[in-house]
């Protein structure tokens, strides 16, 4: 009489180099808006290496090597396609175990330089065309979900920039969020354009939370500064040797600002963002990485006005003075959000820097059982979700910043990190509806090395 065994199929499937890996004991795979590339970590029994170490029959399987292809699915949904970046091996005289980690295919864009052999400049090019040129050698396709605005007058690539650096620097100028779908596409989108089909409640469907609060990355004043070639100079010089002689005295020219002021306003640009919740003097300056001031429309826009605190750190407007806590404004006004008609300038980059660094001050991670929500859908990043957290006092819509699906001998769970709805929104629509922000914790290939 034959012995019949029933084997339950695990909801998560791992393929390495086209072969199903049956000996994995735990698997974590996640996507994070802050990291672009999705990542994974898999603990497994390496049968070939274990047989060589401990003896016994050598199995007919191949060892896993760096740069092997990886595909991870949850039921029928493929959630990651990528490569093995790192392998960690541990063994003693009784046991042997291996851990592999890596990222999805867009990880190459994070590591590799943009156009090392040229071209180094593009003119009159739209964002989606620029992204297509830079990603084409890596066989990564583009999913454009929104309009990206006017073409760039000039795109000058820094030789030290990676592909993702170049893409992100220019995407910020158009208010575009760059993400990965985890399976081979770069997505140009906006934050929170879709909503999760379920909500998060603690107590409720959330069985555990992790909250981390820090003030290290909060800054009172965030600056982005840059200097650009003037686009406001006349095409022809004022004096023309080939001009016809004047038949009469020239008319008085209209009043105009001095050439010095025009040149200074067009070439020396800055953006400035204020976080009114930070009472101490904590400024932070970034240098512009792109030609954000390289258009006529941008250079005709004045630099943002500064309050007395930013100018002199006191109640009186004047040259920069030493900081005096007694004269510091107790409550400063938050930076106004942009209008749709405003040209994209360094001000937008300063606001993006301010909101994303502010978002890094607090992390809310919610742990829910299972790999899908109550509606049967996967939890996905960049979705708005209703959060009711009685312990943390959080009751509002938040943006899912990161999702990690976890399978282990303890069962299956999903770790969901939420951020403020405006954390990845260049327009700042949420800045005046609530203060503070949230930041996702994230899973990266290198940070996972050594974790048990």
Q: What is the pLDDT of residues 199-247, one digit of tens each?
A: 999 999 999 999 888 888 888 888 888 776 666 665 555 666 677 777 7
- Exposed, middle or buried by CB within 10 Å (0-12, 13-18, 19+), for 30? buried
The DSSP code sequence of 301-330 is SPPPP--HHHHHSSSS-SS-----GGGS-S
Number of H helices, E strands in the chain: 8, 22
**How far apart, in whole angstroms, are the C-alpha atoms of residue 435 and residue 433?**
7
**pLDDT tens column, 139-179:** 999 999 999 888 888 888 888 889 999 998 888 888 889 99
Q: Judge whether 348 and 222 are in contact, CB under 8 Å.
A: no
What is the pairing mode between strands 177-180 and 185-189? antiparallel
Question: Where do the structural domains in the chain lie, given as residue ranges?
Answer: 221-232+258-345
Is the pLDDT confidence value at 400 over 80?
Answer: yes
Q: Which residue has the higher pLDDT, 122 or 53?
A: 122
Is the pLDDT confidence value at 389 over 60?
Answer: yes
**How far apart, in whole angstroms, are the C-alpha atoms of residue 347 and residue 176?**
15
End-to-end CA distance of the chain: 44
Angle between helices 163-172 and 346-359 (to 10 degrees): 110
Task: For residue 439, name the pLDDT band (cuts at 50, 70, 90).
Answer: very low
CA 130, distance to chain mean position in Å, is 18
* Those residues with Cβ within 8 angstroms of residue 212's Cβ, 6 or more apart along the chain or in another chain: 362, 363, 441
């Amino acid at each position: 009489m034959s012995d019949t065994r029933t084997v339950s199929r695990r909801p998560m499937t791992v393929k390495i180099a086209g072969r199903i890996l049956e000996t994995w004991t735990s698997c974590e795979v996640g996507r994070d808006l802050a990291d672009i590339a999705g990542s994974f970590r898999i603990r497994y029994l390496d049968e070939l290496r274990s047989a060589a170490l401990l003896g016994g029959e050598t199995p007919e399987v191949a060892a896993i090597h760096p740069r092997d292809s990886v595909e991870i699915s949850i039921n029928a949904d493929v959630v990651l396609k990528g490569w093995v970046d790192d392998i960690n091996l541990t063994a003693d005289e009784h046991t042997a175990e291996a851990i592999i980690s890596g990222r999805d295919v867009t990880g190459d864009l994070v590591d590799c330089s943009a156009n090392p052999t040229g071209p180094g400049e593009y003119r009159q090019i739209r964002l989606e065309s620029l992204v297509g040129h830079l990603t084409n050698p890596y066989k990564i396709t583009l999913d454009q979900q929104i309009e990206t605005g006017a073409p760039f007058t000039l795109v000058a690539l820094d030789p030290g920039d990676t592909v993702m650096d170049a893409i992100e620097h220019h995407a910020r100028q158009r208010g575009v969020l760059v993400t990965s779908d985890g399976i081979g596409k770069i997505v140009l989108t906006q934050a929170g354009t879709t909503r999760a089909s379920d909500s998060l409640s603690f107590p409720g469907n959330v069985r555990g939370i992790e909250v981390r609060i820090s003030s290290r990355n909060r800054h009172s004043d965030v600056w982005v500064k840059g200097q650009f070639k003037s686009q406001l100079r006349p095409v022809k010089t004022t004096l023309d040797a080939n001009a016809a002689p004047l038949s009469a005295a020239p008319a008085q020219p209209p009043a105009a600002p001095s050439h010095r002021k025009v040149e200074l306003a067009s070439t020396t640009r800055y953006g400035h963002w204020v976080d009114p919740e930070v009472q101490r003097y904590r400024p932070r300056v970034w240098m512009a990485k792109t030609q954000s001031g390289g258009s006529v429309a941008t250079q005709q826009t004045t630099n943002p006005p500064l309050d007395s605190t930013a100018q002199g750190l006191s109640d009186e407007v004047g040259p920069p003075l030493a900081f005096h806590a007694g004269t510091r404004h107790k409550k400063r006004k938050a930076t106004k959000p942009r209008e749709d008609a405003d040209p994209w300038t360094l001000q937008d980059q300063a606001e993006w820097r301010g909101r994303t660094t502010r978002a890094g001050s607090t992390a809310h991670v919610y742990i829910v059982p299972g790999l899908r929500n109550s509606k049967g859908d996967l939890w996905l990043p960049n979705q708005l979700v209703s959060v009711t957290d009685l312990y943390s006092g959080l009751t509002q819509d938040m943006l899912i910043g990161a999702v990690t699906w976890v399978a282990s001998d303890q069962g299956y769970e999903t770790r969901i990190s939420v951020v403020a709805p405006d954390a990845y929104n260049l327009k700042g629509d949420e800045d005046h509806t609530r203060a503070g922000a949230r930041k996702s914790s994230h899973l990266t290939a290198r940070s996972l090395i050594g974790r048990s």
